[in-house]
Amino acid sequence: MTTPVHDPVEGTAAPRRPLRALVAGSVGNFIEWYEFGVYGYFATIIAANFFTPDGGSDVEALVKTYASFALAFFFRPVGAAVFGRLGDRMGRRPTLIVVILLMTGATTLIGLLPTYATLGAAAPWLLTLLRVVQGLSAGGEFGGAVSIMTEFAPPGRRGLYGAWQSFTVALGLLAGAGMAALLATVLTGPELDDWGWRLPFLLTLPLGLAALWLRLKLEETPSFRRTRTGPPEKEGRPPAVTPPPAPAREVAKAIVLGAGRLMGWSAAGYTFLVVMPSYLQSTLNASFQQALVATVLANLGFAASILPAGALSDRIGRRAVMVTGAVLVAVLAFPLMHLLQDAGSSTASKSLAVFVAGAAVGLMAGPGPAMLSEMFPTSVRYTGLGLAYALSNAVFSGCAGLIITEAIKRTGNIDIPAHYVVVTCAVSTLALLTLRGDDHRRALRD
């Protein structure tokens, strides 16, 4: 016989519900970042297939590819606003179901899309359109996934639960890199360029169907239900009143501040974890396989530090862990670039360097989701944290490849990635210092 489960206060959800929320939130996030990673890893091949006009150079094609990449990111805030509004009004569960359907459909269609040689000038436009749909759905994914993870989290474990969002980013990027490396190993160059690059995109279909099944079984969060029904009345106490909506100006300020706190994570994460392969190939003349190995090592370091960083932030606070990460990334940026550029450096030293750089980014990524969730009340949490994340990613992640590639092309300065990372991490550190030291101990605001 089972006993009814009530959720009168945060953190009293049945033990299986948090686990179910972690899995349902993580799988959609995994698919999103697997696809974005694949797009980044195959950027040079996609450039040749879709963005090389007659007489155009490889660099021009790569810039156009990253422009399409950035465009998808700029639609993330739109998706965060639209789906966030739905998620705060209708619920986290139905909104996340719609989001995974859009992401799966758009990604699968990229794998079926005719190239420039077959379709002509319409091919890059259709690819860009599908990237826009992906951007919209990705914008709605983060806010919902983090909301269900942190709203279901037991007391004192929001940092660890939220860190699973970032951990699945690492898993998605690693899966994308692993798939790219596997295909580069088993297929010839012409096969990879012709049809092999499509396979990772088509794999999204079965993954998306599995994610859909999991989300159909998901329950609504205790925090969201409280905003609709109010907490249960207790004997001798008047019924509680649902808190009024947060003032729009206060929410807007929190969104801007949240984006600033994430700036370093967004810029360094995409520079070291996604843009790195194209940088190594186009600037340092590394092979496709060498570039992927370096990226896999950076992502392994990233993955290794995320969950410990989230758990540590539950003990000592989000501010201490995230500031440490931002400072470490800024300090390591130039030495890392110079080490990679030095032909005399050993493979072992380069491998260790990119692993450590990835781990430093993970110190920011681990506590980041919980930090954002704690900035907003339940009535605007999906929208607020989704917009903060989407804006930061649109400007500092989505534009990373475009800014770095174009700046190197114009200036010839191969240290541009380090300059980019240092500046963004410095600004992010200032924003992170405004965090309260005890935010991790406070209940989420209803």
Q: What is the pLDDT of residues 291-330, one digit of tens each?
A: 778 878 888 999 999 999 999 999 999 999 999 999 999 9
pLDDT computed for residue 442 by the predictor: 86
Q: Give CA–CA dist 198/272, Å, rounded.
A: 24
As a whole number, mean pLDDT of residues 402-407 equals: 78
For the chain, what is the mean pLDDT? 83
Residue-wise pLDDT for 341-352, tens only, equals 887 778 788 788
Decide if 161 is inside a domain.
yes
**Short-list 221, 247, 243, CA closest to 230:** 243
Q: Give the pLDDT band of residue 230 (cuts 50, 70, 90).
A: low
Compute the distance between CA of residue 109 and CA of residue 106 in angstroms, rounded to an integer: 5
% the chain with pLDDT above 70: 87
445 falls within a domain: no
- In sequence order, what are the residues at sequence separation of 6 or more whose Cβ sits closer than 8 angstroms to the Cβ of residue 37? 172, 173, 174, 175, 176, 177, 273, 274
Residue 169 falls inside a structural domain: yes
Q: How far apart are the first and last CA of the chain?
A: 33
Report the domain count for the chain: 1
Angstrom CA distances, 68 to 46, 119, 129, 271, stand at 11, 18, 9, 17
Most confident of 4-8, 243-247, 402-406: 402-406
- From 263-277, 351-365, 428-442, the region with the lowest mean pLDDT: 263-277
DSSP secondary structure of 251-272:
HHHHHHHHHHHHHHHHHHHHHH
Is the distance from CB of 40 to CB of 70 less than 8 angstroms?
no
Any domain includes 235: no
Instruction: Return the amino acid letter for 18.
Output: P
| Residue 188: band (very low, low, confident or very high) from pLDDT cuts 50, 70, 90 | confident
Residue 301 structure tokens: 């370091």
Domain membership of residue 241 (yes or no) is no
Q: How would residue 9 be classed by pLDDT, with cut points 50, 70 and 90?
A: very low
* CATH number where 305 lies: 1.20.1250.20
Domain assignment present for 68: yes
- Residue 303's domain comprises 16-228+246-440
The confidence score (pLDDT) of residue 135 equals 86
Query: Is the separation of the CB atoms in 389 and 143 below 8 Å?
Result: yes
3-state secondary structure of 413: coil
233 within domain boundaries = no
Q: What is the pLDDT of residue 441?
A: 87
Q: What share of the chain is helix, strand, coil (3-state, %, to 5)?
A: 80, 0, 20
pLDDT at residue 184 above 90? no
User: For residue 237, is it within any domain?
Assistant: no
pLDDT tens digit sequence for 199-218: 999 999 999 999 899 899 88
